[in-house]
């Protein structure tokens, strides 16, 4: 696992869970496709697309490493399907495209790996205007993706364009429910709670760790993801439950604040964490990386920007801290645990 909120864990899959995931893609024809993914062999995504290339007769593009400082280099090859994390995707958006890069073969960009905001997807779509850009939801505990939009199906393509913020429709072979994380009450459409799944492709447990707590009393896997599905069964992931924090009696989702901060013209990226407070449980603090070459902005300006756009519980009562960059995990996600340790050590 990525280890964004704690230590990385070894995830134990069986041959059955791995091959059952591969069975989902049998019958597809990728003979004329060149697929690129920047996920390294530590992650299930790498193996999943390895099996896809074998079963569907497609070719994979392997490069030593995705270079954030020269992100367009991999497009010197005529890839047709590209799977990227959000950090790599935004690096492409914010780096001028070289004149010799030809994107006429590119059909689809699939973004995955963490909570993705609709504004980020729109930025990617503006950079790749003639390409299907969508997000996929999954986690290493289940070997196949959990939701995505299948571009071979008209209904999926329709929802991709009309369901803003959705990470797709359910995958065949997996059962889903959304529950209140405090009471375990099963919730209906458009009601927010923890997403839980049952699948033949899920893990058997964590390596050398007590794994009993990852399933509920009915045997459903607790994904730890906070979200909902709508009346058409399109899923939306809002945040990780572990990244949420209480302010008084309300649970605050950092992504809802980060989503606003990231629209500020001077902000490159942001992370919101909860700072413990004696009376209010926690106050929100924003850590912000500014875009280079723009006039400096103050923490008070960022706080006012949020106050003008969000309700009172989401205000940045613990202030704003500017940093040069964020610590990252090997899978390209922000290492929130290290970030919190850095902040708490300075308090």
Angle at 20 between CA 19 and CA 26, to 5 degrees: 85
Residues 329, 287: one domain?
yes
Number of CB atoms found within 10 A of residue 317's CB: 16
- Based on the domain organization, do 123 and 248 belong to the same domain? no
Q: Give just the sign of the alpha carbon dihedral 170, 175, 178, 181.
A: negative
Q: Are residues 128 and 222 in the same domain?
A: no
- Does 254 map to a domain? yes
Which residue segment(s) compose the domain that 297 sits in? 244-346
Residue 99: which CATH number? 3.40.50.12780
179 - beta bridge partners?
186, 194
- Whether 134 contacts 166, CB under 8 Å: no
Model confidence at 6, in pLDDT bands (50, 70, 90)? low
Q: Confidence class of residue 340 from pLDDT cuts 50, 70 and 90? A: confident
| Confidence (pLDDT) at 155 | 96
Is residue 153 located within the same domain as residue 31? yes
Whether 241 and 225 have beta carbons less than 8 Å apart is answered as yes
Beta bridge partners of 319: none
For residue 99, tell me if it sits in a domain: yes
Are both 80 and 146 inside the same structural domain? yes
Spatial distance between the Cα atoms of 166 and 227, rounded to a whole number of angstroms: 10
Strand 281-290 and strand 320-322: pairing? parallel
Whether 266 has a pLDDT exceeding 60, the answer reads yes
Q: What CATH code is carried by the domain that includes residue 340?
A: 3.30.300.30
Write down the pLDDT at residue 103.
94
Tens digit of pLDDT for each residue in 163-215? 999 999 999 889 999 999 888 999 999 999 999 999 999 999 999 999 988 99
pLDDT at 5 over 60: no
Q: How far apart are CA 321 and CA 299, in angstroms?
A: 7
Residue 88 is assigned to a structural domain of this protein: yes
Looking at residue 11, its pLDDT comes to 93
Q: Which two tokens stand for residue 147?
A: 């939701």
């Amino acid at each position: 696992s990525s280890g964004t909120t704690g230590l990385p864990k070894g995830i134990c899959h069986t041959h059955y869970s791995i091959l059952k995931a591969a069975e989902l893609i049998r019958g597809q024809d990728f003979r004329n496709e060149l697929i690129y993914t920047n996920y390294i062999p530590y992650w299930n995504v790498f193996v999943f697309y390895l099996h896809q290339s074998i079963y569907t007769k497609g070719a994979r593009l392997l490069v030593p490493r995705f270079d954030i400082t020269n992100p367009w280099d991999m497009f010197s090859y005529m890839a047709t399907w590209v799977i990227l994390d959000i950090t790599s995707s935004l690096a492409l958006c914010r780096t001028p495209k070289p004149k010799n890069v030809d994107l006429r073969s590119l059909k689809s960009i699939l973004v995955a790996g963490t909570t993705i905001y609709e504004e980020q997807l729109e930025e990617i779509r503006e950079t790749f205007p003639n390409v299907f850009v969508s997000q996929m939801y999954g986690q290493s505990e289940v070997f196949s993706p959990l939701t995505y939009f299948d571009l071979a199906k008209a209904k999926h393509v329709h929802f991709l364009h009309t369901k803003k913020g959705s990470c797709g429709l359910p995958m065949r072979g997996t059962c889903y429910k959304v529950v209140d994380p405090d009471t375990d009450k099963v919730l209906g459409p458009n009601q927010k709670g923890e997403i839980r799944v049952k699948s033949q492709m899920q893990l058997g447990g964590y390596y050398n760790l007590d794994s009993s707590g990852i399933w509920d009393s009915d045997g459903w896997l607790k994904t730890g993801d906070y979200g909902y599905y709508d009346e058409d069964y399109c899923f939306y992931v809002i945040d990780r439950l572990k990244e949420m924090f209480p302010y008084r009696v309300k649970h605050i989702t950092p992504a809802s604040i980060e989503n606003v901060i990231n629209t500020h013209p001077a902000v490159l990226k942001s992370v919101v964490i909860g700072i413990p407070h004696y009376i209010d449980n926690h106050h929100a603090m924003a850590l912000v990386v500014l875009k280079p070459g723009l006039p400096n902005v103050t923490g008070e300006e960022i706080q006012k920007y949020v106050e003008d756009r969000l309700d009172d519980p989401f205000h940045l009562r613990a202030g704003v801290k500017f940093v040069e960059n964020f610590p990252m995990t090997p899978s390209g996600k922000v290492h929130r645990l290290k970030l919190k340790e850095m902040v708490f050590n300075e308090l």
